[in-house]
Amino acid sequence: MTDQAASPWPARRDGLLYREPTEADVEVLLQFRNDPGVNHFMVRTSVEPDDLRREVLTIPDSPTDFSCVLERDGELVGMGFLDVVDGAGQPGHPTGTDGLIGYIVRPGHEGVGIATATARALLEAAFGGLGLRRVTAAANLANHASVRVLEKAGMRRERHEVQALWHHELGWLDEVGYALLAEEWAAAHVP
Ligand SMILES: CC(C)(COP(=O)(O)OP(=O)(O)OC[C@H]1O[C@@H](n2cnc3c(N)ncnc32)[C@H](O)[C@@H]1OP(=O)(O)O)[C@@H](O)C(=O)NCCC(=O)NCCS
């Protein structure tokens, strides 16, 4: 990522408006981030209102957090997460080169492609806008819809950790990791 990296938002794609969150979004985000259906596979099963407010409202000024909210027909229908992180390696490796993505869809809006569109928009923002080198995402293997979203977005499964995550109802569950390199993304998006 260059020092001058500008926010990739707002952007319009696939019938969705991706934009930075504002104070007016906090109440709606709070409602659905703490919905039991949304939280079912989340490691953080609930978020304190003050924490969520602080996390959301610091996004626009953050040099590394390019998360966004999604609107469809003027209604907030989800959130996309895009964090710029350092890759791993020996001392001296370049920093701020990698991205980590995620998404949540507002209950009542699942199953119509919003998460898949969001994953694609986040990859475009990461590689096309921010110039990142590699983007990763992780999902609970039992979260079939999320795994399907990452596959449909064109990411490559490169990690499968067996019984790696504790779930309060289901016990130890597997986690899968997906990745995509800038050159893989570019090869799949030849104009
Ligand atoms: C998981 C989640 C992001 C999916 O969002 P969505 O907008 O419904 O996803 P999409 O409509 O883009 O795609 C879902 C895909 O999963 C499939 N799917 C849904 N439920 C499924 C299931 N139980 N088993 C297998 N596939 C399933 C859908 O059929 C669709 O695939 P298709 O287009 O090939 O038919 C959404 O339900 C959500 O926010 N869940 C709670 C938060 C969460 O788990 N976030 C991900 C953390 S890694």
Other beta carbons within 10 Å of 66: 29
**What would the pLDDT profile of 87-103 be if each residue is shown by its tens digit?**
999 999 999 999 999 99
Residue 45 per-residue DSSP state: -
Residues 6+ apart with CB under 8 A from 123: 101, 135, 153, 154, 155, 180, 185
Contact 17, 70 (CB under 8 A): yes
Give the pLDDT mean for 142-152: 98
Which of 148, 161, 173, 175 to mutate for ligand 1's pocket (most ligand atoms within 8 Å of CB)? Answer: 148
- Looking at the CA of residue 37, tell me the nearest atom of ligand 1: 41
Q: What residues are in contact with ligand 1 under a 6 Å CB criterion?
A: 38, 41, 102-105, 110-116, 139, 143-146, 148-149
Instruction: Report all structural domains of the chain as residue ranges with CATH numbers, in order of start.
Output: 11-188 (3.40.630.30)
- Looking at the CA of residue 41, tell me the nearest atom of ligand 1: 44
**What would the pLDDT profile of 46-96 be if each residue is shown by its tens digit?**
999 999 999 999 999 999 999 999 999 999 999 999 999 999 999 999 999
Which of 105, 118, 170, 176 to mutate for ligand 1's pocket (most ligand atoms within 8 Å of CB)? Answer: 105
**What would the pLDDT profile of 159-181 be if each residue is shown by its tens digit?**
999 999 999 999 999 999 999 99
Nearest one of 161, 149, 55, 58 to 102, comparing CA atoms: 149
- Looking at the CA of residue 38, tell me the nearest atom of ligand 1: 41
What distance in angstroms lies between residue 93's CA and the mean position of ligand 1's atoms?
Answer: 36
Nearest one of 58, 53, 55, 81 to 68, comparing CA atoms: 81
Residues 6+ apart with CB under 8 A from 85: 64, 96, 98, 99, 100
Q: Judge whether residue 21 has pLDDT over 70.
A: yes
Query: What is the tally of helices (H) and strands (E) in the chain?
Result: 6, 8
Amino acid at 68: C
What distance in angstroms lies between residue 95's CA and the mean position of ligand 1's atoms?
Answer: 32
